[in-house]
Amino acid sequence: MNILVIGSGGREHALVHKIKQDGIKNIFCAPGNAGIEELAQCVPIKADDVSGLLQFAKEKRISLTVVGPELPLQAGIVDIFTANGLAIFGPTKQAAMLETSKVFAKKLLKTYAIPSPAFEVFDTSADAIDYVKTRSFPLVIKADGLASGKGVIIAGELSEAISAIKDIMDNRVFGDAGKVLLVEEFIRGVESSYFVISNGATCINVASARDYKRLNDNDRGPNTGGMGSISPSDKMTPELEEKINRRIVSPLMEALKKEGIVYKGVLYVGVMISNNDPYVLEFNARFGDPETQAILPRIESDLVGVFMDSAKGKMFAEPIKLKEDVGVCVVMASQDYPVNPRTGITIEGLKAAGGKDTFIFHAGTKNEKGVIKTAGGRVLGITALGESIKAAREKAYKAVNNIIFEGSQYRRDIGL
């Protein structure tokens, strides 16, 4: 079996690592990174070069393609591969609109009475500013489209809301993602992520996780793509999982069917848990990053078989089995991330950092003549498993302390 993984981040390294554990020898990754190339053959094709990826998949007789990031999904890679008779794990372009258009997702939730914060949609900054002047704070300001996990601003007062609206709609800090904007009710509670995999008819549970979005300790500083994660979420209970499935996942899948949309692939449900009830904050149509790095090392089941069943619309043979261990992932980022990260910095201590149940997942790295250097904002995801959050934290931070590159920054409160 030949498998192609699309992407170049820590999520894709974790996917390749798990696929390798499942006994697959012939793994390709486009474009990959310095860590992935130790496990798979990296191919210099960009993740959103759909025609190049299609040609490669045909030439190499790829049995299954696994899509990591959101951009290929938005470009319709699943539709194109499927039309060419190729098995691919991920939702169609229309189904992926749950992530690629917040307005689409919010309107669907409202139509089918799935619990989510109240919202209003605006296509001009003037109208949005007039609206927020009438509201109490805090409010949540969201760009409609994809913004690499950074298009959500919690405004604590009017001046912050106006600044966010102007940045998104007038200054286009997120590009065309800011053509349309949402202003959303702020709900107090604790955020968690919940993952399921669908074959178009039924879903199976994967795991829960908690993501740490802010750059600095105590949830301070700018939003990032994610500075760490734990799995399972420390706030998730069997009762909450049952509520999420009953009140959100099942009604959502029925809603999509009524809209003529068949959803296959992984679904990430970002929820706010308020008074022990879950409310949808967002959907992702793919595995989260860095949540994946904390989740996949916990999975004992053959994930390749699950991916193939999902892609082909077959019934799942059995539930996904998880280890009882907790996963903690600490992200090490470049100096000046998330604004203008420094690259080309030599990374030392990688070999000394590993250990039993400790995994070094590469993200923004490159191999220059045998020397591993930084090549992006988020550089590494250091994941450890332990019988408790405390035990996993100790292993993860022990590994972090062994890795050195100039200007590195990371949070010290992941899992606290």
Q: What angle do CA 231, 234, 239 make, to 5 degrees?
A: 100
The fold adopted by the segment(s) 124-179 is Dna Ligase; domain 1 (3.30.1490)
Contact 173, 164 (CB under 8 A): no
Contact 267, 202 (CB under 8 A): no
Please give the Cα distance from 167 to 180 (Å, whole number): 12
Lowest model confidence (mean pLDDT) among 28-32, 237-241, 326-330, 354-358:
354-358
Please give the Cα distance from 268 to 245 (Å, whole number): 12
Candidates 3.30.70.270, 2.70.180.20, 3.30.470.20, 3.90.1150.10; CATH matching 190-312: 3.30.470.20
Q: Is the pLDDT of residue 217 over 80?
A: yes
Handedness of CA 302, 41, 227, 115 (dihedral sign): negative
Instruction: Please tell me which of 147-151, 189-193, 352-356 the model is most confident about, judged by mean pLDDT.
Output: 189-193
Q: Is the pLDDT of residue 149 over 80?
A: no
Confidence of residue 291 (pLDDT cuts 50, 70, 90): very high
Q: Is the pLDDT of residue 92 over 90?
A: yes
Q: Give the SS3 label for residue 287.
A: coil
- Crossing angle of helices 303-312 and 10-21, in 10° steps, is 100
Please give the Cα distance from 410 to 227 (Å, whole number): 7
DSSP 314: P
What is the rounded average pLDDT of the residues 304-323? 97
DSSP 354: -
The fold adopted by the segment(s) 2-90 is Rossmann fold (3.40.50)
Please give the Cα distance from 122 to 129 (Å, whole number): 10
- The domain locations on the chain are 2-90, 124-179, 190-312, 326-402
What share of the chain in percent tops pLDDT 90? 96
Confidence of residue 223 (pLDDT cuts 50, 70, 90): confident
Looking at residue 245, its pLDDT comes to 97
Q: Is the pLDDT of residue 373 over 90?
A: yes
Looking at residue 356, its pLDDT comes to 86
Looking at residue 55, its pLDDT comes to 98
Looking at residue 156, its pLDDT comes to 95
Confidence of residue 265 (pLDDT cuts 50, 70, 90): very high
Lowest model confidence (mean pLDDT) among 148-162, 281-295, 322-336:
148-162
What is the CATH code of the structural domain delimited by 326-402? 3.90.600.10
What share of the chain in percent tops pLDDT 70? 100
Q: Is the pLDDT of residue 125 over 80?
A: yes
